[in-house]
Structure 1
Amino acid sequence: MDHTPSPSLPHAALPQDDVLTPTMLAEVLEATGAGIAVLDARQGGTPLVYCNPAFEEMTGYTAAELAGRNLALLRGPDTDPRTADTLRRALDEGTPAALEILNYRKDGAPFWNALSVRPVRDAAGAVRWLVGSSIDITRQRRSEQDLRDAQDQLTRLAAETFALAEDLDRAREEADTARVAAENASRAKSRFLAMMSHELRTPMTAVLGMGDLLLGTALNEQQKGFVNTLRSSADTLLDLLNDILDFSKIEAGQLELEEIDFALGRLVEDVVQLFQVRAAAKGLSLTASVADETPAFVRGDPTRLRQVLFNLVSNAIKFTERGGVEICLWAPHTADGEDILLRFEVADTGIGMTPEQRGRLFEAFVQADASTSRKYGGTGLGLAICRHLVQAMGGEITVTSEPGDGSTFGFSIRVRPAQSVPRRTPDLKDPAPQPVVSLHILLAEDNDINRMLISTMLTRMGHRVDAVGDGRAALAALQGRSYDLLLLDMEMPVLDGGSTARAIRRSAGPVAQMPIIGISADALPEHRDRHMACGLDEYMTKPVDWEALDTLMLEVVGRPRTQRPVPAAAPPAAAEGFLGIPLIDRVKLSELRLALGAESLEGMLRLMPEAALRELSAIHAAFQGDRPRDLGHAAHTLAGLAANFGAPRLAAVARAVNERHADAETVAALLPLLEQAVADTNRLIEDPDAVQGAA
């Protein structure tokens, strides 16, 4: 066949005699990979009069099956009605159309059709034929959809990352994203634990102290029993609090075990006495047996051992309705001078467990099943703590149980022989002997109940006490009279303990050598150095151990005055450390741009300089007006603003101001650094090209 185009046949035009020649079309269209369909525009419904083999292959229909039919038969349940209407109007009106439509093959399989429809006119200019060109773009659409799904997932991940950024901002500038996330989670946990410790320990001081005071009054035997139970329960609650605070250290492998001598039998007896009333209330027996060969005294961590027994006995009573609970203790192997293996069993006649329940029993936050949680409550954390504690003490914990036949929890620990028989702790219900030295003590404590409690206990010990409610009042009291010792709460309004201690140490005259003991409900060991750096002689955590406090006070007062500690230098001396932090965090800005979009981010960044200057002005006003709390609040707001929008240097300086907001000297030294950080950051943000380049 001659493939030379006929000069008399217009491009893309059909013969002018209105006769569609299949032979000629087949020769022209046979080789094309696009599906071609020709529709008759003069007949109602624009039926198909021709299609090429590519169109047959695409649709699964033969030309004979399609001839004379409307191509609406290719539509299916998921074909977009609006797209179908657009195509129908184009065919009815004889106008061009280009669209993508979901069609269905003869076998029902869907495919995406990139369809282009063009009218072909006769010699009079009327639409005679409609020619459709179809390309199967199913793979392309699938790839595009996969790309969109990936982009959507990336956007969601970016949004989640942005939501977490507020928790990660304090550590983001110090390391890469993965390491920072882990460090920030640890810091967030520490902050939460410190707050929880403080909030719980403050009332616990009152509970324990008031119990001690009641035991020192005239009580009948029944009342003494009530108070002893109250005191014992409060001690146990305090032990639980301490163990929960240590859980993060257990997870991190940082648990520190105590090594002291203690009486094994007395410890088991204390656990039994604590739960005796609870067991009796359910009609259960609670017994304990200690094998004869078991050593009476050992050296180890009685608090951790008591914690394990407490959890196991508590659970045994909780899940037992009839019968009883038994504690057994023995030492399979003992030898002088070597580690001693102790074995414990806590057996009950309770509901028992299935093998599946036993298999996940020691996982954190897991209980036997959902019904157990609904009926008995609890967090499912106790047995996980037991497992970690037992392993830390060189042993292991197991359980044997069958449904309806009760459970037996067995565990072992390793202890050492006692170095000496522990002396009996003086009973606080007995009147304490008058101390050899009577001290005149200034107490600074903001909590009214604790101030009354500590004053009463110190007075009972034979000391004289003047009490004030904040650090500024303590400084004023020291100007008017002389005291042997200052007992200083570290968390107080107006002027906190750290600022008060530094002010005393830096003052002129003998008052600078004042013996100072800090007390705090903050039990986290890593915070001790921070408190001591303020110029304290010693530091104790609440609840107060009265006997230990009395001994410590006498020892501190007896130290040479020339050996009083000097407060650590204020942090502004390390200004170079702030200058080493970048003004803009490229990674953070990239995450924000991905999560928010470039336009939204730029709009938000334009608002930041004004907001930063507003908070800086508030900090200056609070500093001039001697309002440390307002100053701290403004600095906290500025630090969060800067961290959220990728300005790590400004965030670090503002955070330092917030952390030391009650220390006027430190704040005064930090303000120039803060002002410079605000100016430099704003200058960079106000230059869009610079920010774009930084990101």
Structure 2
Amino acid sequence: MRLKAERKLELKSQLLSALALCTEKFLLSKTSEEMFKETYNIIGKVAHADHIYYYEKDFDTNTISQKYKWSKTENPNESIILQNFTEENLKEIIEKAENKKILNILTRQLDDTFFKNLLETHHIKSILILPLYVEDVFSGFIGFDDCHTEHKWSEEEIYIFQTLANNISSALERNRNQSKIIESEEKFKLITNNIPGTVYLSKFDTFSTKIFLNDQIFNLTGYSKAEFLEHNLSFISLIHPDDKKEVINSQLKNLQSGKALHNTYRIKRKSGEYIWIEEFGDVIKKGDEIEFIGGIYFDITNKKQTEDAIKAKQLAEAASKSKSDFLANMSHEIRTPLNGIIGFTDLLMKTELGEIQEKYMTTINQSAHSLLEIINDILDFSKIEAGKLDLFIDLYDIHKIVGQVFDLIVYESNLKKLDLKLHIAPDVPQYIWTDIVRLKQILINLLSNAVKFTNHGSITVDVVVLEKKEDDICVIRFSVTDTGIGILKQNKKKIFQAFSQEDSSTTRKFGGTGLGLTISNHLLALMESRLQLKSKIEKGSTFYFDLTLKTSAHNTNENYNTDFNHFNTKAVQIPASTHTAKLTFMIAEDNKVNMLLLKTIIKNLYPNVHIYECENGYEALKVFENVTPDLIFMDIQMPIMNGYETAVAIRNSINGQQVPIIAVTAGTEKEERNKCITSGMNDYIPKPIMKGSVEEILKKWLK
């Protein structure tokens, strides 16, 4: 009896010693496999068991599998790892585990189930199962078996083994938590290293000491992580001196008021260059105290440069618009008195003048026209610069276009006794789709230059077809050849630059703004063409351009003769004698000179006419409520109500459908035409107001 007690005491002592050693191994083991290998070997030597094993539950598949097994003796047949048991297969263990109990039983005492057959297959006569719990959830079990005797484990043995099971549960929970932490850290590193920004975690101290940085810190600053984390390089020290104080004060203010950090500033890279960064951050508190600051830096240098470029572009566009608006307004202000000078000198030249008086008046008139051309050039150039010059395409007779241009240049060429020649090839189609105003402007400019720089000889205009394509598309070349002074090879590009002529002496000798060829080239660019030049000094020059145009052998445009008269207003019927006809006109014009000029021309044509004078559109509308004139002359730019608004209001009135409204405009024909049609006007006369154009329009609308 005494010997039995001593043996029992010795076993308990051995088990407790083994348990103490196992506890140390639990604390030091880095993995579960290492833990079981070392502890099971210690316990197995004193436990009087043939096998010790560890089974683990897979919560994804809800199965239980053997993860580790210790055997007292080496037997190849015992190396089989048992896997994927269902809870039904091991229901005896599961039922005990659900009630937080152990299973200590002889195999023969079990019911005839899967579990009993499993034990018998492996020659197990008795078994002890201790469930394991992680976070109070059954997660597996450890087991002891005896294959030689029917061993009933004592309460003391079970107590010690239960302590072992509890230690194993704690170790497993610790290992799983560590694995989760490591996995979480790896995920965090993976995420942070793939974010297109520099993630940081800083202490809340004077130097904002960094305790974590992702790999992007090197790309951002040129410094390695180690220089910040190990050598205490301060990120604050990199901030641009001009930005540092504002950034620090802003961040402290935000942190103290509980706001998130958001700052944009410059930092100095290791290379010495400054870059722009944008910082987002927030605090991590321990209780009420700020312990850490976490956030992210983004390199926004490219974005900042783009923003600066956009701002510069916007400023440039605004400046260009202001310049264009200024030039448009100034040109209107300059044109107005010029139009008066041109109009009245034109009237005066039609009276009986002495030879000297006529010469003086001709000089004044020509000077005014020259100044008007300069203003038009500057305004066109401004529009081109601002990208506001558009083409207005319509169908026109090419012979009439070139013929009209030719007629304008005949007088000047005759004064210099130049031989002016025009050649339009027979295969050139009669009608072309083009912007007549801009095409004439280009040709007039080229012909004017030819006359200006040619002292003797000839000037030839050639129009030929270079290529005929499908759908009536033709490539037509327009060329102007002179026998003038020619252009040096090194100056051929220079003459196409704004405000430039071949050299300064040319400017002094021949005059001009130097804008003509530049404007012509820009207009041709809108037509997908360009000016080209062939020239020899003292032999002459040929300027030419090729246009790809849609053509027609017939006039297919119903609006060719006139596309005004949107309201189908009929001409006013008047008596045969215009001098005795009693007509009523209304003139809406804010400029007194233009008003006087137009009145004078009309009175010369119709002495008995009654004219209502209105200084703005609003006044004209009030007069129209009480008077229905035979015809209205409408200026476009007027105070209070402009010409467009006034025309619309008149057309919307009871008596306003049939009265002819004639626009008086300083704008180019095509640019103004659409606006005039939309607002309800019937026709227009251009400024400067000339007696001939007024007479022609009145004959058309007073029949």
TM over 0.5: no
Which has the larger Rg?
A: 2
Higher relative contact order (CA 8 A, sep 6+): 1
Higher strand share: 2
TM-score, normalised via structure 1 length: 0.42
TM-score, normalised via structure 2 length: 0.42
